[in-house]
Amino acid sequence: MPGDALSRVFAAVSDPIRRDMVARLADGDATVNELAEPYDVTVQAVSKHLKVLEDAGLVSRSRDAQRRPVHLEAEVFDLMTKWIERYRRQADERYRRLDEVLRAMPDDEQPPPPPRQSNRGRKRGHDDHDA
Amino acid sequence: MTTMTHETEITADDKVPVIRITRQFDAPPAKVFRAHVDPALLAQWLGPRDLEMTVDYFDCRTGGAYRYVQRRGEDEFGFHGSFHEVRPNEVIVQTFTFEGVPDGVALDRAQFEALEDGGTRLTVTSLVGSFEERAAILASGMEHGVREGYEKLDELLRGTAG
């Protein structure tokens, strides 16, 4: 399912080490050892992170058994940023509509008056929606 | 106050499944707040123009609740939730459920902050149940319908687009 696929991509880059690895792979392919170098973690730990990135489809590894360089699947990475951008754009469109509503609202109107039901006794409200 | 269009910023937190949206408005907090709590005003901007929004009930005060429906042709998208904390011109904390995913619920916090130029900074923080849920929300864009989102995602994942 695409929803799950995308979840894996998001989950994969939710970790700072994996995000850093993705950023470095954007400069070019690298081996596991090369990737492990800057971190204070074992090669095994880096391999685990790679597995997560691989399962998400973010990186691939060549079949070359000796080196097995890791390659960034840039399209999948772009896809994720595209979806965030799309979400951002929808929020932006919404708030542009709000800009217009705010411009049309009168300036001098007072904030909503405080509740004035005291002389009617009961607080109203709860009975008009029992959802 | 200037009359430029402000940027909408969005952040997806690393540690918790939160989406944060920040936006400035050229209007004081009282006005921006009112556009959030008056359902007639809210209906003018919340949904896309091609969706018709009907407010079922909307009682924006601490302990209140709301429900609205957005329609496009045959499609109907219902949303409901509770108002947990409402402080005029300051904050609205509410739950938010898209009825297409009834077990999913977001905890939304909208903060209205007065700026020196007379404007308002609005920060909306939306906490969902899991990273997977957040991914689904970001992917769908929600208001455009989950199906449309997945269809497009399908295409992209198949590599047929672009």
User: Would you state the pLDDT for residue A116?
Assistant: 53
Domain that holds residue A23: 2-76
Position A100 pLDDT exceeds 90: yes
Residue A12 included in any domain: yes
> What is the average per-residue pLDDT within B78-88?
97
Alpha-helical (H) ranges within A26-118 are 32-36, 43-55, 74-104
User: Would you state the pLDDT for residue B143?
Assistant: 41
Residue A104 CB-half CA count within 13 A: 10
Could you say which of A83, A111, A128 has the minimum Cβ distance to residue B88?
A111
Q: What is the pLDDT of residues B42-57, one digit of tens each?
A: 998 988 878 889 999 9
Domain ranges of chain B: 9-129
User: Would you state the pLDDT for residue A120?
Assistant: 45
C-alpha A54/C-alpha A62 separation (Å) is 12
Considering chain B, what percentage of its residues have pLDDT values greater than 90?
54
User: Would you state the pLDDT for residue A76?
Assistant: 74
**What ipTM does this complex have?**
0.79
Higher pLDDT, A50 or A119: A50
Q: What is the pLDDT of residues B93-110, one digit of tens each?
A: 999 998 988 888 999 999
Interface of A with B in 61-120 (CB under 8 A): 75, 79, 82-84, 86-88, 90-103, 105, 109, 111-112
User: Would you state the pLDDT for residue B60?
Assistant: 95
Higher pLDDT, B136 or A90: A90
Position B61 pLDDT exceeds 90: yes
Higher pLDDT, B112 or B144: B112
The total number of structural domains in chain A stands at: 1
User: Would you state the pLDDT for residue B142?
Assistant: 42
User: Would you state the pLDDT for residue B123?
Assistant: 96
Residue A130 near chain B (CB below 8 Å) = no
Pairing, β B91-98 against β A59-61? unpaired
Nearest-5° Cα angle at B24, B60 to B111: 35
Which chain A residues are closer than 8 Å to B37 by Cβ? 112
Kindly report the pTM of this predicted structure: 0.67
Nearest CA distance, A86 vs chain B (angstrom): 7
Of B28, B77, B9, B26, nearest in space to B48 by CA: B77
Residue A131 included in any domain: no
Contact B141 A86 (CB under 8 A): yes
User: Would you state the pLDDT for residue B136?
Assistant: 73
Higher pLDDT, B148 or B122: B122
Higher pLDDT, B1 or B51: B51
Nearest CA distance, B131 vs chain A (angstrom): 6
CATH class of B9-129: alpha beta
Residue B43 near chain A (CB below 8 Å) = no
The dihedrals phi and psi of B94, each to the nearest 5 degrees, come to -145, 160
Is residue A61 very low, low, confident or very high in pLDDT (cuts 50, 70, 90)? Answer: confident
For A60-98, give one letter per residue: b (16+ CB within 10 A) or e: ebeeeeeeebbebbeebbebbebbbebbbebbbebbebb
Average pLDDT, chain A: 77
Could you say which of B19, B136, B156 has the minimum Cβ distance to residue A79?
B156
C-alpha B117/C-alpha B26 separation (Å) is 8
Position A115 pLDDT exceeds 60: no
Residue A29 included in any domain: yes
**Best mutation target, B23, B37, B49, B83, to test chain A (most A CBs within 10 A):** B23
User: Would you state the pLDDT for residue B4?
Assistant: 65
> What is the average per-residue pLDDT within B7-24?
87
> What is the average per-residue pLDDT within B114-125?
95
Position A104 pLDDT exceeds 90: yes
User: Would you state the pLDDT for residue A113?
Assistant: 54
Any idea what the CATH number is for the domain that residue A72 is in?
Answer: 1.10.10.10
Which chain A residues are closer than 8 Å to B161 by Cβ? none
> What is the average per-residue pLDDT within B19-32?
93
Sign (positive or negative) of CA dihedral A23, A25, A27, A33 = positive
> What is the average per-residue pLDDT within B78-87?
97
Q: Which amino acid is at B63?
A: G
Is residue A109 very low, low, confident or very high in pLDDT (cuts 50, 70, 90)? Answer: low
